[in-house]
Amino acid sequence: MKTGLYFGSFNPIHIGHMAIANFMIEFSDLEQLWFVISPHNPLKEKKSLLKDYHRLEMVRLAVEDDDRFRASDIEFKLPTPSYTIDTLVYLEEKNPGREFQLVMGADGLRTFHKWKHADLIVEKYHRLIYPRPGMDLDIVSRNPNATVVNAPLMEISSSFIRMAIREGKDVRHLVPAGAYQYMREMHFYEQ
């Protein structure tokens, strides 16, 4: 079964993530997509990150009624910082018969060479690349084993949502309903 792995902090998950995930399932050969919640991206600061289990719960609430999607906490069980190659190897061992592919934004290609064992990832795992605002997609042509999936450009971001909440803005239509309700009940990002 072809399974896309969509890594991210999902801090919080939003409609942009969901639109890209839906597009990947419908317009690629993926049969399932797993949202892999990262405890800490080694290339990003950790200071504004909600606790792992809160971000996992928001993703679960966002995808719970769609069996094409799954919320994965696999990286919570692996050593930190988490590295994509370690997660891929572990998932392959635990899920024989699944063909894992990476779902990533074109902006991730800028720093891809810094990823642990980037050459091995390129060799063994197909990457489905979605466009990001301001990114020249010619960079994909210089990346072997990668395909551009012409998903809609999503200019919404988790950092924008966090900022809007701090400013007292109503973001209910920017976050999946279940995740939004949980976020409001817990008063996340309000300070």
Q: Where are the alpha helices (DSSP H) in the chain?
A: 15-27, 52-63, 84-94, 118-124, 138-141, 158-166, 177-186
pLDDT band at 6 (very low <50, low <70, confident <90, very high): very high
pLDDT band at 14 (very low <50, low <70, confident <90, very high): very high
Q: Where is pLDDT greater, at 180 or 110? A: 180
The pLDDT tens digits of the residues spanning 76-94 come to 999 888 899 999 999 999 9
Measure the CA–CA gap between 133 and 143, rounded to whole angstroms.
19
pLDDT > 90: what percent of the chain?
79
Measure the CA–CA gap between 73 and 55, rounded to whole angstroms.
10
**Mean pLDDT lowest among 25-39, 80-94, 128-142:** 128-142
The pLDDT tens digits of the residues spanning 97-121 come to 999 999 999 988 889 999 999 999 9
Q: Does 139 score more than 80 pLDDT? A: no
pLDDT > 70: what percent of the chain?
96
Burial class (CB in 10 A: 0-12, 13-18, 19+), 115: middle
Domains in the chain, start-ordered, CATH in brackets?
2-156 (3.40.50.620)
Which pLDDT score is estimated for 88?
97
